[in-house]
Amino acid sequence: MSKRGLPTTFKLRHDLHYVEQLTGKPASSPIGLMVAIDKLAPNPNQPRTEFGDLSELIESIKEKGVLEPLLVRPSDVGGRYMIIAGERRYRASMEAGLTEVPCIELDVDDKAVAEISLIENLQRKDLTPFEEADGLQALNSRFGYTHEDIAKRIGKSRSSITEIISLSTMPLEVRDECRRADIGAKSVLLQIVRQPSVEEMIDLARKIGNTGLTRDEARQERKGSPLKLKASQYAYSARDGSFSVAVKFKGRDPQASDIEAALREALADLAGDGSNA
């Protein structure tokens, strides 16, 4: 394998790569090229902040080269390129001592950069729950995507998008507590972020870290009145009496999973475009 980053038996393809699959639309005039590694710069808005152990990727690149080109676009600085997708390959290539790497140059705007970068990472399942939540929130707040838009783009339900984005509201001190407690399961993190105050979030995170509570056990620790079921109706009243919620089901007695699904759908509608409001 040469220092140029391409396997000696490979030629760089000038095609759409997987861009159409990522964005759902054709990229305009993609160009395949070799780029000097010192002319590449990471995306400052890359959703990913943790890159994990690169040792296996480094060894693979040393042996076989970079099999999948990086996606780049011309930078504001002349002669340089910003990485849209492929920062792990870029970092591993530097460690492997490459001087050039294969790239696909795209002519795309900031909105498309954010979308491609996020979806590429999501498809690889490389993001932590917080990185995923912050990336989806950026699409929502910076580029005007509704929760429904995002759901269609990445193939998830709108309610799950609303749930994931809710993690982006978790304060930094709570996130730090979750990391110290080694809490990485999205379902458990969602139970923490639903606590009514920062102090209660931290308390629950510590309790989970100390006792290893499951998602269902963590749910039981959440503040509020116990579940009240009567025939086809679920009712909840806040401890301070400030509000109450009732959900009625037609023709059947609800299970806990039915109630949770109904409430999530209502919250998703409220947090989304509000079309049913």
* Mean pLDDT of all residues in 11-35: 51
- CATH class of residue range 19-117: alpha beta
Contacts of 262 (CB under 8 A, 6+ apart): 247, 249, 254
pTM over 0.75, yes/no: no
- Can you say how many angstroms the Cα of residue 131 is from the centroid of all Cα atoms in its chain? 5
The pLDDT-based confidence of 11 (bands split at 50, 70, 90) is very low
pLDDT at 268 over 60: yes
Q: pLDDT of 64-117, one tens digit each?
A: 888 888 889 888 766 689 888 888 889 999 999 999 999 998 888 888 887 787
d(C-alpha 183, C-alpha 193), whole Å: 12
Q: What pLDDT does residue 178 have?
A: 93
Q: What pLDDT does residue 12 have?
A: 36
Phi-psi region of 40 (alpha: psi -120 to 50; beta: other; left: phi over 0): beta
Residues annotated catalytic, as ranges: 87
Q: pLDDT of 116-151, one tens digit each?
A: 877 776 666 667 888 888 888 888 887 788 898 888
Contacts of 41 (CB under 8 A, 6+ apart): 75, 77, 80, 81, 82, 83
pLDDT at 63 over 50: yes
Q: What is the mean pLDDT of the chain?
A: 77
d(C-alpha 3, C-alpha 228), whole Å: 67
User: Beta strands 70-74 and 100-105: pairing type?
Assistant: parallel
pLDDT at 206 over 70: yes
Q: pLDDT of 210-263, one tens digit each?
A: 877 777 777 766 544 444 444 566 766 666 667 777 777 776 666 777 788 888
Contacts of 205 (CB under 8 A, 6+ apart): 174, 177, 178, 181, 183, 192
